[in-house]
Chain A
Amino acid sequence: MTAIAPSPLQPYDVQAVRADFPILSRQVHGRPLVYLDSAASAQKPKAVIDTLTEVMSAEYANVHRGVHWLSAAATKRFEEARTKVARFINAADDREIVFTRNATEAINLVASSWGRTNLREGDEVVISWLEHHANIVPWQMLRTEKGIVLKVVPIDDRGALILEEYERLLASPRVKLVAMTQMSNALGTINPIREVIRMAHARGVPVLVDGCQAVTHLGVDVRELDCDFLVFSGHKLYGPTGVGVLYGKAAILSGMPPYQGGGDMIARVTFEETTFKDIPQRFEAGTPAILEVIGLGAAIDYVSGLGLDRIRAHERDVFDYANRRLQEINSVRIIGSAPERAGILSFTMEDVHPHDLATILDRSGVAVRAGHHCAQPLMDRFGVPATARASFGLYNTREEVDALVAGLERVREIFG
């Protein structure tokens, strides 16, 4: 909320941005760090690091409890962060923001609280082939417990959602929830989430959006999307680990029972009976991640200060450049070619397993992820056990893409 809308004419000075991230000046194996793994977790700007230190040094106490000055100060900082999150995603009301441990817990909260209350045996939850395990496994657990049915919207060979198939699945009157990612963490595919939500709402079906990647790469406006739930994690948004966000429409959250029981979520406890607080505290049992939440607020200030539009334009430039450079390497196969993509490039190299590739890149200082990216069904869909994934954040440069390409040449040299 302290962020000043930047002028669109102001150029994006990526070197100045990089200087905000202390870790980017370090070396790895004697080479400058080229960090291309922000989709797994993003690095932290000094503003976030300093905020954590500052709060611990001057304004730290437990929140929502003491009458003493420090507790009030910490509570104020904590609740200000909630407001920052609400504004960042354009929620109508701060009470719609629930802090969780991470996005995974946010989905589990919905599955556990909303799902157990609203889903019956035979009811259907629609997900897509692009989901992270975090948006598959909680529903499978509910399937085991309640006998719900999981329906999966297929994707085409480019890695794009097949909307006709989605429409076909939606036609079933048993569909009670759509839970879908806005942007694939493994392929970078951007789903037509507005359309997905519109079609579901036309049948009265609520939609949970996994916004982990979208929140940082695209920006999310929950009122414009009209999604019923949105989940994301703080650490992918340049904030600390240990904090995730569940956004839920107030009317829906208000009707949901608590997720976990404990302190901070109760109105009154006797041994006979307990009454629960209103939202969002009802879902925040126990001492929350106070520092991390305040740190997330600082991260949001930082990102808003740079301007999501400018970040998006910069990332688009680096992504397009990387896409082009990788396509020039004959033995590289980019996995996923959906028309709408951002920030993430998954690829394989002929005759080289992604792990070997990542090990060799690492020795050049280039950090990429190799593996299934917590999306094994998606890997199966493309017939690969794993891929290498380069993901780009607001601090990456074309020069770093060149370092990636040089590293891949080194891989070819070793593997012949």
Chain B
Amino acid sequence: MRDDLRDLYQEVILDHGKHPRNRRHPEDATHHAHGDNPICGDRVDVFLTLKDGVIADAAFEGRGCAISVASASMMTELVAGKTPAAAEALFRGFQALCTGHDDADVPGVEPADIERLEVMSGVRQFPMRVKCATLAWHALSAALSGEDRASSETKGGEA
């Protein structure tokens, strides 16, 4: 029982949760989307700056639990420098990771990136928390496709 909790709240997650990276609102962001989890009231705003076909900068603002903040923080680090297609692929890989599906099959995902996200895989044992982990990614995906909102309870609801 206790191991499940330690898997979920690993040091890396607690660190990102307490000291989130890229929590800011860049003035020159080209893409933005707001993510809502109406069940718990968690909110996240994801800001992307696309330059020359890549995500030059990713940042977020928001409030939420340690899982959602840590996930947003790690996401901003990982997608910086990637093309939108590569970021979308990583999102799919991350979804697979969180829901316990085989993540090796998602094409276009760098194994090193998935390895870094592996630390979040503890949510598999906590189905109620998967939406916390994926909220920022849904917002990222919405921003990339030109939408300004994502909700954990609408189309993004499938984790």
Contact = CB atoms under 8 A, between A and B. Distances in A.
Interface of A: 29-31, 351-356, 359-360, 363, 370-372, 376, 379, 385-386, 414-416
B41 interface: yes
20 contacts: A351-B18, A352-B66, A354-B65, A355-B42, A355-B67, A355-B129, A355-B132, A356-B65, A359-B5, A359-B129, A360-B5, A363-B5, A370-B40, A371-B41, A372-B41, A376-B41, A379-B41, A414-B9, A415-B66, A416-B14
B137 to A, nearest CB: 18
A385 B5 contact: no
B40 A355 contact: yes
Nearest to A370: B40
A359 to B, nearest CB: 6
Interface residues of B, number: 23
Contact of A415 (B2, B14, B39, B63): B14
Nearest to B5: A363
Contacts of B18: 351
A376 B39 CA distance: 11
B41 A363 contact: no
Contacts of B41: 371-372, 376, 379, 385-386
A363 B40 contact: no
B11 to A, nearest CB: 10
Contact of A356 (B4, B9, B39, B43): B9
Contacts of A371: 39-41
Interface of B: 1-2, 4-6, 8-9, 14, 18, 39-43, 63-67, 126, 128-129, 132
Nearest to A352: B66
Contacts of B64: 353, 355, 385
A416 to B, nearest CB: 7
Contact of A372 (B1, B40, B65, B67): B40
Nearest to A353: B65
A355 B14 CA distance: 14
Given A360-B5, A385-B43, 9 more contacts: A351-B18, A356-B9, A356-B67, A359-B128, A363-B4, A371-B39, A372-B41, A385-B41, A415-B14
B9 A386 contact: no
Contacts of B8: 359
Contacts of A415: 9, 14, 66
B9 A385 contact: no
A355 B65 contact: yes
A41 to B, nearest CB: 16
A385 B129 contact: no
Contacts of B40: 355, 370-372, 386
Contacts of A356: 9, 65-67
Which 8 pairs from chain A and chain B are nearest by CB? A353-B65, A355-B65, A372-B41, A356-B66, A356-B65, A371-B40, A385-B41, A414-B9
Contact of A385 (B42, B66, B128): B42
